[in-house]
Amino acid sequence: MARKTIFPMTRIHEPIRIDVEIENGRVSDAWISSHLYRGWEQMMIGRDIRDAILFTQRICGICSTAHAVADVLALQQATGLAPTVNGQHLINLILAADTIQNHLRHFYLLTLPDYAAGPDMPPWTPRPAKPDLRLPAKVNAVLVDHLPAGIAVSARAHELLALFGAKAPHQQTIMVTGVTQQLNADNIKAAAALLREIRYFVEGVYLPDAQTIAAYYPDYHAIGKSGGNFISFGMFPEPVTGRRALKAGVRFADGAAEELDVTQINEDVRYGWYREGTGGRPDAESTVPDPDKPGAYSWTKAPRYKGLSFESGPMPRAIINGEYRGPGIGVADRIVARAQETLKFCRLAEDWIARLVPGQPTLQPYTLPPQGEGAGLTDVMRGVLGHWIKFAVGKISHHQIITPTAWKFSPRDASGRRGAVEQALIGTPVADSDGLVEVGRVVRSFDPCFTCAVHVINAPGAKPLVV
């Protein structure tokens, strides 16, 4: 048995350490460590509740809109306020555009170099000694040639976001009752034109490219299975009714399904660098760092639903909504499901644009009550995101965040249950224990974002962290 470490890992967002034990050519055990603490829950305490929508976007520059939407949903629940019809369509459109750019960027910049041979330059380098590349030369050349175009179209999706969000990343216009950007014929036509361009590429290039990778790597439908527990909070509410275009739900490994019960969400801190007793339900727990805690190995807490670890993201929500029935639930399925979802979101966005009405309000005036509490739960780029807030006299007294990456890349819990990615690595075949190509493919298929998942890096010689 050999123990191997990847730290840092290339082509992901922020510090992650992977420790695996290799036995008889397969991963027999795995540990995922997050090595960055940021303290967002503490930073939000005492701030004006209206600032949360803007501040929490700074958690991440690649999926910032997600945090704005989660805070808006939490405030809507806390106050009883609702967006205008135009406002809700625009919030959905902004989030969809940000998700589309994320999915394109993830495939062409972070995923493709794992499967295709490119030029001797980043992101193709550094490359492993035994990369397991299977694409025929002509097919390989076509996919490599698509990378610059994929990144360019991803940027076009950010332009679509900025039409109504003012800028990207960190949009500026989403508020509790809608969006500050007013509608006119020009910006509606510009949005429709951008979306046509994006959809043309997604439908004609991105989706076929993803399917090509799956076709030449069919064993990856079975490699990287997380255990089969899937969770979704739903996504894109309709105006007035609040009915979501993608429904919420829970699906267990044995095939049983049930409606989401928010009260069953809990965070375990046994193996996180947090003080014991500070975990629990996100509407009541606290975040107290303990970087010297014995036995801990990650700055990520361990979110659980009914005591079990769950995977979320494009593939799980497609399965919950009956829209993906692939040959497996592994790496290749995540790649294809993410591309299929990108096309679906293009079509949804076309519908929202068609339903925008110039001259009708995109938001309405509002006055916040002196106090309140609420939970903003939504699916976003990488999976399920929840913001739990409480405020009094207009100031935040409680703000807890559980991100998609926390769900998937959590450490073990007090019962010894692995997080979804730790579980997905078990049984992964390893042809070269010095290269660990297969391990990298499994990890990247989950689209990790540790700027979101972990909330100071304790540098050698630095003064102890005081919070």
What angle, 0 to 180 degrees and rounded to 10, lies between the N-to-C axes of helices 64-79 and 85-105? 150
Domain residue limits, the chain? 2-453
Given this model, what pLDDT does residue 220 score?
Answer: 98
pLDDT tens, 103-162?
999 999 999 999 999 999 989 988 888 999 999 999 999 999 999 999 999 999 999 999
Given this model, what pLDDT does residue 423 score?
Answer: 98
Spatial separation of the C-alpha atoms in residues 223 and 218, rounded to whole Å = 9
Average pLDDT per run of 10 along the chain, which is 467 residues long? Answer: 88 84 97 88 94 93 93 97 98 98 96 96 88 97 98 97 96 97 97 98 98 98 97 98 98 97 97 95 95 96 98 98 96 98 98 97 94 98 97 96 95 97 98 94 90 45 34
Given this model, what pLDDT does residue 280 score?
Answer: 95
CATH topology of domain 2-453: Cytochrome-c3 Hydrogenase; chain B (1.10.645)
Given this model, what pLDDT does residue 11 score?
Answer: 83
Given this model, what pLDDT does residue 450 score?
Answer: 56
Beta strand spans in 154-214 (E): 174-175, 178-179
Given this model, what pLDDT does residue 240 score?
Answer: 94
Given this model, what pLDDT does residue 13 score?
Answer: 67
Claim: this prediction has a pTM higher than 0.85 = yes
DSSP character string of 14-49: S-EEEEEEEETTEEEEEEEEE-----HHHHHTTSBG
| Stretch (H or E) spanning 153 | helix 137-165
- For residues 87 and 434, the answer to whether their CB atoms sit within 8 Å is no
Percent of the chain with pLDDT over 70: 96
